Amino acid sequence: MPRMHSFTDTVSYFADPDSHDLLASLFGEQEEGDWQSRGLCAQTDPEAFFPAKGDSAREAKRLCARCPVRAECLAYALANNEQHGVWGGLSERERRRLPRATPAAESLAEGEKRCRACQKIRPASEFYEDPRASDGLKSSCKGCCRQMDRRRRSRCVAA
């Protein structure tokens, strides 16, 4: 059976500066002077930046508009796939709508295309023809189109 620690053991552990350094390295706590400590959000109520569903995020966005580290905050949220809250002045929904960074088109070989759904590079022969598209091909590969068709049919049957 594991040994139970007393409250005083726990307090003395966290009061020890060496254990604080260990915790900071384990949990990624930022050093003082880093962009997070310079943000206006560090000086306000964090609940404003994580509104409940249906509540307004206007106050958080108003603060972000004046924040000196807004760009760093947004970059952090996008790099770490933050799913909740207002980061860099954008809500979860607004961050999801941002275009994904994709490699340059010139990196594709002749006769290849990137599937919009799965993001894989495939030969042009794996795409259905679409006369309305600029390159004459659908934006999703045949495999992804089949999956989308199956989902549509299952929705129609269930309805």
What is the reported pLDDT for 100?
63
Torsion-angle region of residue 65: left (phi > 0), alpha (psi -120 to 50) or beta? alpha
- DSSP-derived 3-state class of residue 134: coil
Same domain, 39 and 88: yes
User: What is the chain's mean pLDDT, rounded?
Assistant: 75
Report which residue type is found at 44: T
Domain that holds residue 114: 108-158
Domain boundary among 66, 97, 128: 97
Question: 136: Cβ–Cβ under 8 A, 6 or more apart, which residues?
Answer: 129, 130
pTM of the model: 0.45
Q: Are residues 119 and 85 in the same domain?
A: no
Q: What does the pLDDT look like over 91-130, one tens digit per residue? A: 888 888 877 654 544 467 788 888 888 878 889 999 988 8
* Residue 103 located in a structural domain: no
Cβ partners under 8 Å of residue 142, min gap 6 = 126, 127, 128
Q: What is the CATH number of the domain that holds 129?
A: 3.30.60
